[in-house]
A and B are shown apart, each in its own frame.
Chain A
């Protein structure tokens, strides 16, 4: 079983829709959770990170962690065509290795 599981999609939504992305993880000891965004032909860039359970907002982006279910989510409100990218969840283990989800490719249609 992979440490982090993510539905690769792809996901296609109309402009203005809410995008919902999810990951599950296996190790209940994980404390930090990250979301990266990767545009085509670019390397990933850190979008947000959260600690423990709860929500964190940054503009149109909300990251949510449910440690009891070992489930993390990223929501994008009022999605724009510029949000079209691959979104990867990532979790650092105790040995500092980052485990990434497979990535979900999102297309926002104008």
Chain B
């Protein structure tokens, strides 16, 4: 099976712009989670989508949003970009809701740089 794919791999934006990142989960996986990884804060949970519904949300402002399509593909949107949004954004998929019994498989990430 193909792994989790994320596009684009690298992105450069300026402050105030918005950005949309895309994630294609492993075939058959219904859950997609998004994480932000920075040197200072580490890996932080953004949100999880399962069967097109947001099931869980981390402590991020409303500028961060997402959605999941009927084919389980997911997009994440960040509006009004700030310098602090520069990070590696990782997507992970699992068969069921992420947790112990359903292993999460991570994509390679999208490296976002905000200038």
Contacts and interface: CB of A to CB of B under 8 A. Distances in A.
Interface of A: 6, 32, 34, 41-46, 49, 51, 88, 90, 92, 95-103
Residue among B44, B48, B104 facing the most chain A CB atoms (10 A cut-off): B104
B21 interface: no
Given A32-B100, A43-B4, A43-B90, A98 B45 contact: yes
B10 to A, nearest CB: 11
Residue among A41, A43, A45, A99 facing the most chain B CB atoms (10 A cut-off): A43
Contacts of B105: 45
A45 B98 CA distance: 14
B107 A43 contact: yes
B42 A98 contact: no
Contact of B109 (A43, A90, A101): A43
Interface of B: 4, 33, 35, 42-45, 48, 55-56, 58, 90, 92, 97-100, 103-109
For the residues of A in contact with B, the DSSP-based class is: strand
Nearest to B41: A102
A95 B56 contact: yes
Contacts of A96: 48, 55-56, 97-99
Contact of A44 (B43, B48, B97, B99): B43
Contacts of B43: 44, 88, 90, 100, 103
27 contacts: A42-B108, A43-B92, A43-B106, A43-B108, A43-B109, A44-B43, A44-B90, A44-B106, A45-B106, A46-B104, A49-B100, A88-B43, A90-B43, A92-B99, A96-B48, A96-B55, A96-B56, A96-B99, A97-B45, A97-B48, A98-B33, A99-B45, A100-B35, A100-B43, A100-B44, A101-B42, A103-B43
